[in-house]
Chains A and B, each alone.
Chain A
Amino acid sequence: MAALPKRIIKETQRLVSDPVPGITATPSEENLRYFQVTIDGPSSSPYAKGRFDLELFLPDDYPMCAPKVRFLTKIYHPNIDKLGRICLDVLKDNWSPALQIRTILLSIQALLGAPNPDDPLANDVAVDWKSDEAKAIATAKEWTEKYAVPSTDSS
């Protein structure tokens, strides 16, 4: 395996020494390009109180290409599909090598606070969201409680 680029080392160090509030990112021991991530739902959103698990992988051509990020926790959100894939411009066309893991995770947290049903990934969720927002928000809360609120018996 090739040596880890300086860039990744620096980013990892900073993620650990100067963590972003509400976000954790821990590199895996076997593969330093693979991160276990948690994001806390923004307090003003239907995802409040939830803690969502994600996985993040830095491909070989990172930072020329965006990191690959995916939700592991089930989530009801118009821009996140069943497989946890995220529709976010900075992860695709608007990626810039000057962006970082930190900025990406912040963008994802912001996405939880501001769902965008007009640019959906999960079509059925987006349709619900547009036809009956209140009901959709209720479902999102329900799912958050069911899947994302840390239960007492684990950990």
Chain B
Amino acid sequence: MSDEYDSYESDLSFEFEEEGYSSEETESQDSPGSNGSPASESTSPNALCKLTYRSFPMLSFIEENFIAKAQDLRSLFLPDFSVDQLLIMLQYKNWLKLEVLSDYYDNWPKFREACGLCEESGHERFKTVKDFMCPVCCESGDLQVFSLQCNHEYCSTCYRTYVETTALHGAIVRCIEPLCNLAVLHLDIVSLINMLPTGVSLTEELQKLDLKKNDETDGDEKEDSDTDLLSLESSETNRNDPSPFHVTADLYFDVFDFSKTLTSTDGLDHLNDVNPLLNSPALLQAARISVDSRFKKFSWCPALDCPSVVQLETFVNKTDSNQKQESRLSKVPIVACFKSHEFCFNCRFENHLPSPCWLAEKWIKKCSDDSETLNWLQAHTQGCPECLALIEKNGGCNHVVCRKCQYEFCWICFGPWSEHKSSFWQCNRFVPEEVKETELNKSKHLLSLSRYLHYYQRFAAHQISMAGDYKTLGTIHAHMLNYMKYTSFTERNSISWNDIQYLSDSYKGLCAGRKTLMWSYAFAFYLCPNNFSTIFESMQDFLNDTVEKLSQLLEQLKLMQPSKTLRVLIANKREKFVELTALVLQRRRMLIDCANSGIEKGDLVFLQTS
């Protein structure tokens, strides 16, 4: 509660400060753009929503919101301080320049004490001390020690570990000595971290992340982790089921960018070179906290490990509890991070169009609430997944025959009837809690469950396929890498990474199509059946059809070996890929438009139940 209030407050004061410094702020806001990162204004991927925003790597955020402010203070008001010292003052005052100035002019000695700064006196921070016993690790000998001006000495290895650990709290890092308030400046943090080969610097960390991502493309761990998430009897269908939690946690956001894989510049490396301060993990963490507390204007990309920030230029009214049922799709603030991951600024889920935010949240909650029931049901109805919605009980007999496919099963345990003929009553053992209800309730319950299951299965299927598409693209990518590596330049000069960049675009289009389909099933689940919902569902079929065609095309490429044929085929297929991708995007757009106009005109109506 109080946390939320606090963040709200700081958000307000931030706004206030921006007004006070509007002229300078506007100037400094352009800096990420001038560094070559795509920080120009973008418009929402939701064409229905009038929204502009900027996306940039988090290092640009630090430059712009922290370092530029310190530089401003230094050049305009406090030239006697280093940028590093001013960063500490700013950090202490939640990055509010006005507050720093007011505390400084109010009572400098008090402010200095609180920040933990002292006069620069040319103190030698690193030195070797003979016969030193470090009170933290208890090692002794001629050790390299680190100390601030207070002369509280600890061995530099301990200091580095300390700084690395404490930096994660996001607060100002202080001297190790208990009760000593002196701040460790960010440049000291950076030199401590870079001091020894052990331990990992931020750049290495980022590189590791990149490597990890590449590994995932051809690894088979995905399936294993899926099985872990489901505490179920092993069965073929269950193994491929993603947990509903995937929706929020592991978004298949990653997009291949063939043109970048070879050169491996992420738009971040050059920033690290420019300013060593950007290597401070403490600043990084402070940036995270700062973004989180200004959630009305800023957001991290929710994709796993994506180091990017989105800053809104347009004010978005966060849907509060009063307007939970805001259904207009023009109110869904979809943005894309600088690595083109699309997400909703309002609910921080992936791009959930055509579902409105409230519906997306409800659906995700339902999927996680019902996951056990779902798993149980799916495990027990494998024989008849298609016509599940039609299951009806024949009178009082527990021997049920599916009208459509004639599958015979037991109403109590959902097991095949054939296994019951000899020893019917044995099945009682397996009766799960939720079907031990009165006969009437049972069929109602089952009916609503099977309706849900119908939509959930389709929702989940596209999620699984998305992972499959990703793998396929990974294989193609690996083939290409091999091909480029072992083929002479003259032989391959007719094909370059740029020539197959279209595959990346197609994959993005394919993902976008699948995402929209997924959420269109969630949407349809909450829809009252009428003529207009039928129209909607036929548009769904169109999109489905094109998406699967594009997916198949990709699959075909995977099967080819890297050779001249591949080269020729890749060149030949290009047109087909481009055409199908365009069609996917067009039909996706039509589906969303259909949902939108249906909602606005009142033709599409949502069910009142859950």
Contacts and interface: CB of A to CB of B under 8 A. Distances in A.
B162 interface: yes
A36 interface: no
Given A5-B137, A7-B137, A98-B135, A64 B165 contact: yes
Nearest to A95: B178
B176 A96 contact: yes
B535 interface: no
Nearest to B139: A6
A134 to B, nearest CB: 30
B162 A97 contact: yes
B325 interface: no
A153 interface: no
Query: How big is chain A's contact interface, by range?
Result: 10 to 19
Interface in B229-271: none
Nearest to B174: A96
B181 to A, nearest CB: 11
Nearest to A64: B165
A63 interface: yes
B158 interface: yes
A7 B162 contact: no
Q: Kindly name the residue among A61, A63, A93 whose own CB sees the greatest number of chain B CB atoms within 10 A.
A: A63
A61 B162 CA distance: 10
A99 interface: yes
A64 B162 contact: yes
Contact of B136 (A9, A61, A90, A98): A98
A9 B138 CA distance: 9
B137 A98 contact: no
Interface string A8-29: 0110000000000000000000
Contacts of B139: 6
B136 A63 contact: yes
B372 interface: no
A63 B176 CA distance: 11
B521 interface: no
Most buried by B among A5, A94, A98: A98
B338 interface: no
A97 B138 contact: no
Given A6-B138, A6-B139, A98 B176 contact: yes
A108 interface: no
Interface string A51-75: 0000000000101110000000000
Contacts of B135: 98
B583 to A, nearest CB: 55
Contacts of A90: 178
Contact of B165 (A65, A99, A103): A65
A9 B137 CA distance: 10
Contacts, number: 36
Contact of B137 (A6, A61, A96): A6
B138 A10 contact: yes
Contacts of A99: 178
B138 A7 contact: yes
Nearest to B133: A10
Interface residues of B, number: 15
| Residue among A5, A96, A99 facing the most chain B CB atoms (10 A cut-off) | A96
A83 to B, nearest CB: 22
Contacts of A65: 165
B405 to A, nearest CB: 55
Contacts of B165: 61, 64-65
B154 interface: yes
Nearest to B136: A97
Contacts of B161: 64
A7 B162 CA distance: 15
Interface string A89-111: 01001101111000100000000
A90 B137 CA distance: 19
A65 B135 CA distance: 15
Nearest to A63: B136
B174 to A, nearest CB: 8
A134 B129 CA distance: 55
B177 interface: yes
Nearest to B163: A64
Contacts of A94: 178
A7 B176 CA distance: 16
A93 B137 CA distance: 20
B520 to A, nearest CB: 47
A96 B138 contact: no
Nearest to A8: B138
Given A61-B165, A64-B161, A65-B165, A98 B177 contact: yes
Which of B137, B139, B169 has the most C-beta atoms of chain A within 10 angstroms of its own C-beta?
Answer: B137
A18 to B, nearest CB: 15
B287 to A, nearest CB: 20
Contact of B178 (A7, A10, A96): A96
Contacts of A63: 136
Nearest to A9: B138
Nearest to A99: B178
A105 to B, nearest CB: 15
A126 to B, nearest CB: 16
A5 B379 CA distance: 50
Interface in A94-137: 94, 96-99, 103
Contacts of B177: 96, 98
Contact of B176 (A9, A97, A103): A97
Contacts of A64: 161-162, 165
Contact of B154 (A6, A9, A98, A103): A98
B143 to A, nearest CB: 13
Nearest to B166: A64
Contacts of B162: 64, 97
Contacts of A7: 136-138
Interface in B112-141: 135-139
Contacts of A103: 178
Contacts of B176: 96-98
Interface in B134-184: 135-139, 154, 158, 161-162, 165, 169, 171, 176-178
Nearest to A65: B165
Interface in B462-479: none
A99 B178 CA distance: 7
A99 B176 CA distance: 9
Please give me the 9 A-B residue pairs with the lowest Cβ-Cβ distance, nearest first.
A96-B178, A64-B165, A7-B138, A6-B138, A97-B136, A10-B138, A98-B176, A7-B137, A98-B135
Given A5-B138, A97-B158, A103-B178, 15 more contacts: A6-B137, A6-B139, A7-B137, A9-B138, A61-B165, A63-B136, A64-B162, A64-B165, A90-B178, A93-B169, A93-B171, A96-B176, A96-B177, A97-B136, A98-B178
21 contacts: A5-B137, A5-B138, A6-B139, A7-B137, A7-B138, A10-B138, A61-B165, A64-B161, A65-B165, A90-B178, A93-B169, A93-B171, A96-B177, A96-B178, A97-B154, A97-B158, A97-B176, A98-B135, A98-B136, A98-B154, A98-B178
